[in-house]
Amino acid sequence: MIKKIGVLTGGGDCPGLNAVLRAVVKTAMGKYGWDVIGFKDGYRGLVMNDYIKLSSKDVSGILDKGGTILGSSNRDNPFNFRLERNGNVEYKDMSERVMDNVSMHQIDCMVLIGGDGTLTSARDFARKGMNVVGVPKTIDNDLSATDTTFGFMTAVETATEAIDKLHSTAEAHHRVMILEVMGRYAGWIALQSGIAGGADVILLPEIPYDINSIADKIAERKQQGKHFSLIVVAEGAKPKDGDVVVSKIVENSPDPIRLGGIGNRIADDIEKITGNETRVTVLGHLQRGGRPVPYDRILSTRYGVAAVEMVNEGKFGKMASLQGNSITDVSLEDAVGKLKTVDPDGELIRIARSVGVGFGD
């Protein structure tokens, strides 16, 4: 018999996290009569036993709110946890403490909401015998075991709105405008926002670019009387003969490489080759913030309800997954470790090329 569940939000924040929490709490309490404990700041709360007992009142009015009422962290790996003692920093496996905390609270199952890093730890806890259920979260949409992660469509909406606004100023000043978007090593945000916003060039990690091909596209538009161009570039894009641009390295982070700066590199190259005035906008964390669009509110609610129903059915060690139009479940073993990237020969690439979009290849 399930009597109590725990929940946390791990990794980078993402539009829709609060909607998932709302669905988990309302379903667990209202449908099944369970207690719900929320751990603060991702796995840090689970290690440090920092928690609150959640009620329906706590999740009232948060469906449309960005961020997460529990807080989050993308630096705290419980299997390699950062500790400070007497001014010294050390890293220690704190997974047994997590197991003890879950047992102490008499939690029957943990609902772990996050991306690849959070769900990898979820898988590892399942291997240790903890009852866990995962919910896929990332604006990058790069988890291979689900068609769509919540938060992605809100990020696409934010990027598309930016393209729309850049279009008018690019046209007015006859400039090349570059929009750099997130996505790490997957180009989903760049591709979908680029298509939706009518970009002339879309640069993806999956299709290494040739700067001369981009320059040729700009020249072609000039010959057609179009004296401006819009370029959307994913932060993980790279030239055919080069590598990604790294903005900084965060030591001892689960994901130490921080991408960023590719937009400025391309802008410099374009100005040198074409002489066209080129400006760069880096959206950055704007894509993670703000109110989730209706699609993400609905998807988040579906995920949250499905996670609780999975707990009730004893489907532990699994992740809620969108397959087609249905929410189903997949093993955490199959859900992590492999990124879902854009197929260079896929339908979205094909339709973009058909309407004249260049990919720099």
Number of continuous H segments (helices) and E segments (strands) in the chain: 11, 15
8-state DSSP, 30:
I
- Check: CB of residue 208 under 8 Å from CB of residue 361: yes
The two structure tokens encoding residue 77? 């790996």
Which residue, chain included where needed, has tokens 């995962």? 134
109-142 burial: b if 16+ Cβ within 10 Å, else e: bbbbbbbbbbbbbbbbbbeeebbbbbbbbbbbbb
Length of the chain: 361
In 3D space, the residue among 271, 272, 203, 214 whose CA is nearest the CA of residue 238 turns out to be 203
Q: Is the dihedral of CA 237, 242, 245, 248 positive or negative?
A: positive
- Check: CB of residue 21 under 8 Å from CB of residue 68: yes
Instruction: In whole angstroms, give the CA distance from residue 233 to residue 199.
Output: 10
Instruction: In whole angstroms, give the CA distance from residue 318 to residue 315.
Output: 6
Instruction: In whole angstroms, give the CA distance from residue 339 to residue 269.
Output: 30
Compute how many other C-beta atoms are within 10 angstroms of the C-beta atom of residue 169: 13
3-class secondary structure, 337: coil
The residue from 13, 35, 116, 140 that is catalytic is 140
Identify any residues that bridge with 279 across adjacent strands, giving them in sequence order.
177
Give the angle subtended at the CA of 288 by the CAs of 282 and 292, to the nearest 5°: 130
Compute how many other C-beta atoms are within 10 angstroms of the C-beta atom of residue 333: 14
Whether 140 is catalytic:
yes
Burial class (CB in 10 A: 0-12, 13-18, 19+), 154: buried
- What is the longest distance spanned by two Cα atoms in the chain? 71
Q: Which residues are catalytic?
A: 140
